[in-house]
Structure 1
């Protein structure tokens, strides 16, 4: 049985308790599929997918079906023939914690359920202001912080998606050039499920210097997931990822971080640690981590980047 406390809003599940909730759901991914979904320096295995992600996909499928039943009942009452709107899932967490891999694995699993084959994944990176705007405002060093995102554009996108608009477009971000790709758009055409992945999607506070918000990204979410790990472990994963990128993507002449490709190992550790301590750790502590307990479900990772516990909100 999951750990139960009358004073906590969450039920806590270890691996054995959580994986038992998979029931008879088949594993529809193989090692070749998983290789395409893994993030840099992550060791996610088919066993972890089976133990943790399959039960989660079953829960999301149940909630999706319940959500669609509610829409059908409402339309029947109103005599409305408007199309059903997508079920929105938010995935949040720190830089380097593995939230992008979580979102990709869930997209792959959910798209294999027979009743919702069209599952779209959108990252909020596309809603960052272009570098030119960040430079003009003097906040390039705050990239990834709430004020570096075009919140109004993101809210319009989510509003249009949740209104059932036939075609909605989102900006595309390149991690290679570290900027918005102005000549590319992601097209979303009435999916059954939309997974929105990003740093600050659970935030509910106004951003200093911006107009007081009446809506937040979380207002559009039907379910939210926070990927969690100890800060010291995330810092270590960030440095490990930096080392890998230094030997791969950073070597591309088009890379914004090309200047880091020729660093020595010790120099790379120094630079990555400084970036973590000056940018990513403050953002985590000030803006991301405080939103953790707003999530419906928390995936807790251990030192080996593997999920150890699941916390599910009671209501």
Structure 2
């Protein structure tokens, strides 16, 4: 009987303990107070979790940065072009409520404290959403967060400008309080050593042109990508937990787009939150976000307690 060919696994798999061992002698430069300040409302990450997961990751990233810089130096020598700094871009993807913002902030804080003191900037893709007026005009306000709700050409141009070393690149500002892009408000990203980009759909390749013409996707500019994974039931529970916490805090602000939800009964607010998850966030996750997981260089899988249980690293 013929032997079956071996199954080619695209990822190395690690338990949390196995991954933690790869920290080697990487020093922890953050305190428990730093972690408390950096984490989001519903993410209970601790200093111990940061040490076990993010210290090995920053050690790995240091090797990647060194390798990419070496490749760039080879390219400039071959092309005989002026050597200039090329930012290293890290993408952080995953579902709504999975903890992307916490991961991005902790990574930024740890990377900034490398001995070389690199300039590390953080951008979310929220600023590249179309305005509510545009979404309403196009009839896709209920699909906010879906790929078509973003100004993808502008986002790709932003990444291209950053990667080419352009100075003072402008990024639109999004306000979660008013649930919209703030007109005329921008932040400036000026030639960082490392840029972290956090968002739902940053790993999505989009549709390929049938005529074979070259096309550039946002993911083409990423030097390293991270996908934060969790079971759908856990994601819904975390979304609802965050929804109720915001209902007691930010939603009570008179200028908040969600002010009316703070005035609802708890039962009515809960029904609305579940409706948002099941008609918007879950379909977007299943159709657009989750299918990109297999494109990530690193997958961090969380358990029901919001803590990372396993790590998968793409084989080089």
Aligned to 2:17: 16
- Pairs aligned (count): 308
- TM-score w.r.t. structure 1 length? 0.94
Other-structure match for 1:27? 28
Match in the other structure for 1:113 = 114
Say which is worse superposed, 137-146 or 198-207, in terms of deviation: 198-207
Alpha-carbon displacement from aligned partner over 1:255-295 (angstroms, at most 9, x marks no partner): 00000012222222211111000100000000000110010
Give the 5 Å matches for 1:92-103.
92-103=93-104
For residues 232-257 of structure 1, give each alpha carbon's deviation from its aligned partner in whole angstroms, at most 9, with x where no partner exists: 00000000000000000000011000
Give the match for residue 257 of structure 2.
256
SS at match of 2:185: strand
Where structure 1 has 5 or more consecutive residues not aligned to the other structure, the ranges are: none
Q: Is 2:220 aligned against 1:222?
A: no
1:26 positional shift: 0.6
**In angstroms, what is the RMSD of aligned CA positions?**
1.6
Q: TM-score, normalised by structure 2?
A: 0.94
What is the 5 A alignment of 1:45-124?
45-124=46-125
Alignment of 1:1-315 (within 5 A): 6-206=7-207, 214-315=215-316
In the TM superposition, residue 166 of structure 1 has moved relative to its aligned partner by: 1.8
Secondary structure, aligned partner of 1:255: coil
Change beyond 3 A, Cα 1:61–1:223 = same
Cα distance change, pair 116–85 in 1 and its aligned pair in 2 (3 A) = farther
Quick check: 1:92–1:227 contact (8 Å CA) kept in 2? yes
Contact 1:116 1:192 (8 Å CA) reproduced: no
CA deviation profile, 1:210-236 (whole Å, cap 9, x unmatched): xx9821111111111000000000000
Distance (whole Å) between structure 1 residues aligned to residue 79 and residue 117 of structure 2: 25
Partner of 2:3: none
Distance in 1 separating the partners of 2:116 and 2:81 = 22
> Hey, what's the Cα distance between the residues in 1 that align with 2:93 and 2:277?
18
User: Once the 2 structures are TM-superposed, how far is the Cα of residue 116 of structure 1 from its aligned partner?
Assistant: 4.7
**Residue deviations 1:36-94 (CA, integer Å, cap 9, x gap):** 21111110000000000110011011101111122223333444334211001100000
Corresponding residue SS for 1:120: strand
User: What CA distance in whole angstroms lies between the structure 1 residues aligned with 2:284 and 2:260?
Assistant: 24
Query: Per the alignment, in what secondary structure is the counterpart of residue 22 of structure 1?
Result: coil
